[in-house]
Amino acid sequence: EVQLVESGGGLVRPGGSLRLSCAASGFTFDDYAMHWVRQVPGKGLEWVSGISWNGGRIAYADSVKARFTVSRDNARNSLYLQISSLRPEDTAFYYCAKSWGGVNYFFDHWGQGTLVTVSS
């Protein structure tokens, strides 16, 4: 059974940084691209970033480019999102999602999300 478990969320001050992690199990992690999708509480879904199986292809939403960095460690079956220069509008649930194939394939499994709150 595919499992994706996010961690690392919490309360952070504006301008601060945070590193989110996603622990994957139940599938061959290094065969698939992975993504981060966020959702402001009560609002819609926003794709944040995607990374190919080997990190060779990375894409970001314009709203986070230059502030967020996605990476993965295939030996640890883990996906990461380094988020910096945080703004109140970055407050959201951050979901890890597995791609069916490459970065441009649909998301077939999602984690339960981790909440990031940016506030002074």
Partner 1 sequence: QSVLTQPPSASGTPGQRVTISCSGSNSNIGSNTVNWYQQLPGTAPKLLIYNNNQRPSGVPDRFSGSKSGTSASLAISGLQSEDEADYYCAAWDDRLNGLWVFGGGTKLTVL
Using CB under 8 A, pick the residue from 50, 72, 86, 90 that binds partner 1.
50
35 binds partner 1 (CB under 8 A): yes
Look up residue 76 and give its DSSP letter.
G
29 binds partner 1 (CB under 8 A): no
59 binds partner 1 (CB under 8 A): yes
Number of residues that bind partner 1 (CB under 8 A): 23
Of 53, 50, 54, 76, which is closest to residue 65 (Cα–Cα)? 50
Does residue 69 contact residue 82 with C-beta atoms inside 8 Å? yes
How long a stretch of residues is the chain? Answer: 120
95 binds partner 1 (CB under 8 A): yes
